[in-house]
Amino acid sequence: MDAILVLEDGRYFHGNSFGATGERSGEVVFNTGMSGYQEILFDPSYCGQLVVMTAPQIGNTGVNTFDSESHQPQAAGLIVRAYSDSYSSWRARSSLSQIVREHQIVAVSDVDTRALTRHIRTAGAMRGIISTEDQDIERLTAKARAIPRMEGLDLTHIVTSSEAYHWFEGSQEWKVVNLSPGEADTLPHRPRLTYQPGGLHVVSYDFGLKRTILRRLVDYGCRVTVVPASTSAEDVLALQPDGVFYSNGPGDPAPVAHGIATVNQLLGRVPIFGICLGHQLMGLAMGGKTYKLPFGHHSINHPVRYLKTGHVEITSQNHGFAIDPDSLPADVEITHINLNDHTIEGLRHRSLPAFSVQYHPEAGPGPHDATYLFSEFVAMMVEMKQ
């Protein structure tokens, strides 16, 4: 075996490299999704993390040109039990190993991911380092302990866009199957809906934005302007938005002071919808506090109860922090709870047009149970305009 993962507590796991050579470090977390490894690898919320996939085989559907959630892989490293370089999918354009090598991502297979996941679940997410070069356990343990902890870490400046841009593409409808690679190349992008010129204008903050979120907003008839994380509230209002969206993103929400400040400045002036990191920023802006979860929520199958209706949604999640329910003021209502650990999954201001959820309702990857939230956002914007 030519690769090794070493955790900060000295626990180590040998494996075989199928990605780039070298060393990569970060917080080690596990994702229990059975599919969606391409979206997971390209999700900016995984910046600074080494992702362990608990599904036993990864790579067997290859990588396509449509499911990447950003322009490049964002996870610091990938750890799997069994990697399949042979893939079978009419949408595939390359193997997973080609992508991780091209983008210099260290990826390791043949790791005992069940033992690793059980260890993280017991001891909590911890810092680690993957190496295909240095195999000295003590030296690598010291390096892992020198990695900055996720607490207090603002990573939004790493993943945010450098300038504002407009987004027009909606979701794709796949109606043809069993195409050859040449035939699939000719398949047009087919948005289910397109935005109406002069219709609802959403300005989306990019704290680590996923492309599927933008497509969902377009699907619901919005025209979207994406702005960098550091954009001021005044500059956002100058764009005359009908609503403002606060995106997902990596790291600790507490030090993202600019994001918290803009929520405070925009509350009551324009409808606001936040998810994941955006949800946490809204909770902080409205007087709440956040705390670090033992090993976070990273999956596409978390059950969440919508308290208003009692319905249970199966949700896609990727976060390591949560909002403390005891810290919230009286004018903030808890709307959703996680049925696994009873953490807060949704908030709504009782008198102002603002709500948020901890999970990823755009489902990239994941089930579509929560897409109704985009309808609620649209309804809120329409009501505000009347």
Flag whether 356 is in a domain: yes
Number of residues assigned to the chain: 386
Mean pLDDT (whole number) for 33-44 = 95
d(CA 368, CA 314): 8
Number of domains in the chain: 2
User: Is the domain of 110 the same as that of 196?
Assistant: no
Beta strands in 159-271 (DSSP E): 165-167, 201-206, 223-228, 243-246
Q: Which of 89, 122, 145 is the last residue of a domain?
A: 145
Residue 147: enclosing H or E segment and its boundaries? none
Mind listing the pLDDT tens digit for each residue in 247-290?
Answer: 999 999 999 999 999 999 999 999 999 999 999 999 999 999 99
Q: Is the separation of the CB atoms in 55 and 35 below 8 Å?
A: yes
User: Is the domain of 203 the same as that of 79?
Assistant: no
User: Is the domain of 229 the same as that of 371?
Assistant: yes
Q: What is the pLDDT of residue 173?
A: 57
Catalytic (active site) residue 360: yes
d(CA 105, CA 85): 16
Q: What is the pLDDT of residue 126?
A: 95
* Ramachandran region, residue 240 (left: φ > 0; alpha: ψ -120 to 50; beta: rest): left
User: Is the domain of 64 the same as that of 211?
Assistant: no
Catalytic choice (276, 279, 313, 336) = 276
Flag whether 150 is in a domain: no
d(CA 208, CA 74): 10
The DSSP call for residue 327 is: G
As a whole number, the mean pLDDT across the chain is 92
Mind listing the pLDDT tens digit for each residue in 132-187?
Answer: 999 999 999 999 999 999 999 999 999 999 999 999 888 875 443 443 444 434 43
User: Is the domain of 114 the same as that of 18?
Assistant: yes
Domain hosting residue 216, numbered range: 156-385
10 Å Cβ neighbour count for 88? 9
Mean pLDDT (whole number) for 340-346 = 97
Which CA distances in Å does 144 have to 49, 121, 133?
12, 19, 15
Q: CB neighbours of 183 closer than 8 A, spacing ≥ 6?
A: none
Flag whether 323 is in a domain: yes
User: Is the domain of 240 the same as that of 309?
Assistant: yes
Categorize the per-residue pLDDT at 16 as very low, low, confident or very high, splitting at 50, 70 and 90.
very high
Angle at 365 between CA 190 and CA 275, to 5 degrees: 100
Mean pLDDT (whole number) for 372-386 = 92
pLDDT exceeds 60 at position 100: yes
Helix axes 257-266, 277-285, angle to 10 degrees: 60
User: Is the domain of 165 the same as that of 206?
Assistant: yes
Here the tokens at position 151 are 């607490």
| Pairing outcome for strands 92-94 and 63-64 | antiparallel
User: Is the domain of 316 the same as that of 179?
Assistant: yes
Q: Which of 145, 173, 200 is the last residue of a domain?
A: 145
Q: What is the pLDDT of residue 170?
A: 87
Q: What is the pLDDT of residue 342?
A: 97
Q: What is the pLDDT of residue 129?
A: 98
Q: Which of 125, 145, 165 is the last residue of a domain?
A: 145
Q: What is the pLDDT of residue 186?
A: 42
